[in-house]
Structure 1
Amino acid sequence: MADMAAPHRALITAAAAELLLSLQERHGPLMFHQSGGCCDGSSPMCYPAGDFIVGDRDVLLAVLDVGAGVPVWISGPQFDTWKHTQLVIDVVPGRGGGFSLESPEGKRFLSRGRAFTEDENRELDDAPPVTGAAYERGERPPRTGTHVVADAGSVQDVCGIPQR
């Protein structure tokens, strides 16, 4: 795997990308911030770009190739816990978080996860993520392929939704 690009730290399902495009048409440029568990559990929160202040130590997981591009941020301390996990942003029926833009749509964004393999973790060690401070200085992650996947089931070993 040494000649390949590091795996994406964040992906988005086609259904979630479709909703994101619709929200971009209405609200303009958007961003995600992965919630840390307060108020909205661990949901990816969707905001108009700039409405959520990104801190110097926040980590950019990806710039999703949806519309004009949608950055996905996570707090630095939370990244330290999740750095071995690929985030897959999906959409499910239900009411989203109170501040997230999809809330009135009757759908909500949902984070699913997949543990990186040992080989992927080694590749990621060679590709440190961009922090908020570095982003502010103009640093951007390399563009390597699409972040859109057909559905969460197409990502091997991703966490599903528990059946009742």
Structure 2
Amino acid sequence: MQTKISRLSATEKAIEVIWELEKKYGDLMFYQAGGCCEGTQPQCFEKGGIFPRMNDAMIGTINGHEFWIDRDLFEYWKYSHFTLDAVDGFGPGGFSLETPLGKTFKVNYRLFTQEELQNLEPVKRSE
């Protein structure tokens, strides 16, 4: 049986920031919205700090923390692999937990190959 292709990964810098946030807040979750004040910047919250809307997509986990994407944004990016990164600076909105650390999460995208598209991990949808 072939291993399923993950839709999500994280850089070492992102993992380091997540570890720091885990120590302070415990269980986390990520949500990438489709606009408004935070743009399409991924936001990190304490688990349960935000509730995905009906049919939003959970594309994977990072360190066991769910990564949710707005349903409309997912339709646009569903053929892409997401790599979560952390950089110095302040993201739009400032609602994300890493903001006081002087960091901001961002996502880098790459298109899946035709072979990868045939064997992607399934997406979980909120109800």
**TM-score normalised over the length of structure 1:** 0.72
Deviation at 1:63, TM superposition (A): 1.5
Residue of structure 1 equivalent to 2:58: 60
1:34-55 Cα deviation digits (max 9, x unpaired): 1213212221100010010122
Aligned position for 2:122: 128
Which residue is 1:23 aligned to? 21
Please give the root-mean-square deviation of Cα atoms over the aligned residues, in Å.
1.3
Q: Residue 93 in 1 paired to residue 73 in 2?
A: no
Unaligned 5+ residue runs, structure 2?
Answer: none
Q: Distance in 2 between matches of 1:128 and 1:107?
A: 30
Name the residue aligned to 1:84.
79
| Rg (Cα) greater in structure | 1
Query: 1:106 matched to which residue of 2?
Result: 102
Residue type of the partner of 1:107? Answer: K
Q: Partner of 2:38: helix, strand, or coil?
A: coil
- Percent sequence identity is 36
- Please state how far the C-alpha of 1:7 moved relative to its aligned partner: 1.4
1:42–1:111 contact (8 Å) kept in structure 2: no
Give 3-state SS (helix, strand or coil) of 2:119's partner. Answer: helix
TM-score (norm 2): 0.92
Q: Deviations over 1:17-60 (max 9, x none)?
A: 11101101101110000121321222110001001012230111
1:47 maps to which of 45, 48, 69: 45
Report the CA distance between 1:61 and its aligned residue: 0.6
Higher RCO (CA < 8 A, seq sep 6+): 2
Aligned to 1:6: 4
- Cα distance in 1 between the residues matched to 2:67 and 2:76: 16
Return 5+ residue gaps in structure 1 as ranges: 134-164
Task: Compare the two structures and name the one with the higher strand fraction.
Answer: 2
Runs ≥4 residues deviating over 6 A? none
